[in-house]
Amino acid sequence: MAGITDLPLRRIVSGFGAGLVVSEMVASEEVVRARPEARARAELGFSEQATAVQLVGCETRWLAEAARLVEANGARIIDINMGCPNRRVTNGWSGSALLRDLDQALRLIEAVVGAVKVPVTLKTRLGWDDGLLNAPDLARRAEQAGIAMVTIHGRTRCQFYRGSADWSAIRAVKEAVSIPVIANGDITDSATAGRALRQSGADGVMVGRGVKGAPWRLAQIAHDLHGTPAPRVPEGAALADLVAGHYEAMLSFYGEEIGLRVARKHLGWYLDTSGDAHLRPEIMQSESSRTVLRLIRHAFDGPPPEREAA
């Protein structure tokens, strides 16, 4: 989730015990050329435990060079994005546009697999539209090219995020390959994760939007479905500490000016999940990090704050 799954969030999610986290999608050419905007987003946590670096692109040269670069910097897994439906991505024949040209998709996969020694995985969708549901064919050919795991979002590109994910359609991909298949799309809690696994026959699930405001959710799903250690879901003072720590990590990561703005969406999601919604306007509009930190304490663990003097 570009603009959401940055390094501060991934560290918090990993701290609760997630099996694998994936970086924001990063354009391969940007990584190689190291443009400032790419570097700002591409503090990719190369050496972080259980982290995959996700690359997107449409040229073998740039994808291969980017893969070699992130491997050399410590990336443990490289994930190729062939599922993003955004028009700016697909108009450049990247992301899910490659579902319309499997030969080109395979050339890109082969270039990345041939460039590195770390495992390479693939993220894609069911197909371009209802008339081109070719994910099983792509997965089969990707496995032959050396892909170690494939994640399928249970929608076509032309659905974008409308309607409901079709987990049962992922079963055709699972039956086409012997590598692990991961189900994705509309998985927000243990109940939906269980249904997705049963309907798809997949080996695991990937959660995206379900972690917003609840970074412990992946660990909770793993506990409920597989009996792994249960995460300690924070409440009261512990939750306030978590939110404040996340906020300060974002300020440090992005710098005060940008961090103040970027952090607001995360604070909103925390408030939606378990905070005092009455404090939302003040938290969202404040230009003072000190004030926001004070309000966080009251929003999650305390009485309404006294108003500051004008």
Task: Give 292's contacts (C-beta < 8 A, 6+ positions apart).
Answer: 247, 260, 263, 267, 283, 286
Confirm or deny that 266 is annotated as ligand binding: no
Q: Considering 84, 205, 207, 242, which one is annotated as catalytic?
A: 84
CA end-to-end distance (rounded Å), the chain = 39
Confirm or deny that 209 is annotated as ligand binding: yes
CA 186, 168, 83, 113 torsion: positive or negative? positive
Per-residue burial over 85-95, b if 16 or more Cβ lie within 10 Å, else e, is: bbeebbeeebb
Confirm or deny that 54 is annotated as ligand binding: yes
Told to judge if 84 belongs to the known catalytic residues of this protein, a careful annotator would answer yes
Q: Angle at the Cα of 27 (from 22 to 33), degrees rounded to 5?
A: 120
CA 75 to mean position of chain CA atoms: 16
Cβ atoms of 201 and 233 closer than 8 Å: no
Confirm or deny that 153 is annotated as ligand binding: yes
Q: Which residue type occupies 77?
A: I
Confirm or deny that 208 is annotated as ligand binding: yes
Task: Give 253's contacts (C-beta < 8 A, 6+ positions apart).
Answer: 6, 7, 8, 43, 259
Q: Which residue type occupies 2?
A: A
Binding-site residue ranges for FMN: 54, 123, 153, 208-209
Binding-site residue ranges: 54, 123, 153, 208-209
Which residues form the catalytic set? 84
